[in-house]
Amino acid sequence: MQNPTIVIGVIGADCHAVGNKVLDRVFTMHNFNVINLGVMVSQDEYIDAAIETGAQAIVISSIYGHGEVDCIGMRENCVERGIGEILLYVGGNLVIGKHDFSEIETKFKAMGFNRVFAPDTDLELVCSLMKRDIDHVIQTEETAEGMQ
Ligand code: B12
């Protein structure tokens, strides 16, 4: 099976570049085919790249605290552009100030994100969760095709 393709980048007007490089390195080392859009990425740029490359997931970072505003409508945008089922992940310092992470997670999941990660999440764990999710999607698609 081919390595899974994921589109990564830092959303909105956010210019924090270091975490993005760390994620690129770790994901690449774990055999993901990483399409890295860098910083200050718009929702449409992630979606364009996902469509062009047939990516299985979009992995959004937000570091400067405005993640909620930047991510509003991302799932709906994916649906409108024909990739409504794509896996959506988000992580980083998603909001300003100190909040219970479970509140943040609930908020982003309600916005259609499949998984929401705190800034200190173990990236090895993130890689294994993403692989599991992607395998599950591929298996479900294969089963659906087999039934047709
Ligand atoms: C360096 C820095 C800057 C530099 C950035 C230079 C550059 N081009 O990279 C400059 C000076 C430009 C800057 C500007 C600003 N910054 Co600044 N900055 C930092 C600082 C000191 C370090 C960031 C860093 O590189 N960390 C190291 C990397 C490795 O960590 P990381 O970025 O968090 O990424 C990791 C995790 O978050 C996680 N992760 C990230 N995304 C994802 C996604 C997924 C799916 C997963 C699983 C994990 C994950 O994994 C990454 C790798 O380990 C932090 C404070 C800090 N100690 O973190 C503040 C900080 C991020 N900045 C902050 C702020 C507020 C700003 C400004 C708004 C300040 C201002 N008023 O102008 C501006 C925003 C500018 C903009 N448009 O983006 C705040 C954010 C507050 C919040 N979110 O609640 C912080 C936390 C400082 C603070 N304590 O207040 N900043």
Q: What pLDDT was estimated at residue 45?
A: 98
Distance (angstroms) between ligand 1 centre and the Cα of 14 equals 9
Cβ–ligand 1 distance for 38 under 6 Å, the answer: no
Contact in structure between 81 and 90 (CB atoms under 8 Å) = no
1 confidence band (pLDDT: 50, 70, 90):
low
Ligand 1: residue whose CA is nearest its atom 77: 14
14 is catalytic: yes
pTM, two decimal places? 0.97
Q: What is the pLDDT of residues 97-108, one digit of tens each?
A: 888 999 999 999
Which carries the bigger pLDDT value, residue 119 or residue 144? 119
Buried b / exposed e over 6-22, threshold 16 CB at 10 Å, is bbbbbbbebeeeebbee
- Binding residue positions for adenosylcob(III)alamin: 13-17, 61-63, 93-97
Q: How confident is the model at residue 144 (pLDDT cuts 50, 70, 90)?
A: confident
In the structure, what pLDDT confidence band is assigned to residue 2 with cuts at 50, 70 and 90? Answer: confident
Catalytic (active site) residue 24:
no
Q: Is the CB of 65 under 6 A from ligand 1?
A: yes
Confidence of residue 121 (pLDDT cuts 50, 70, 90): very high
Please provide the average confidence, as pLDDT, over all residues in the chain: 96
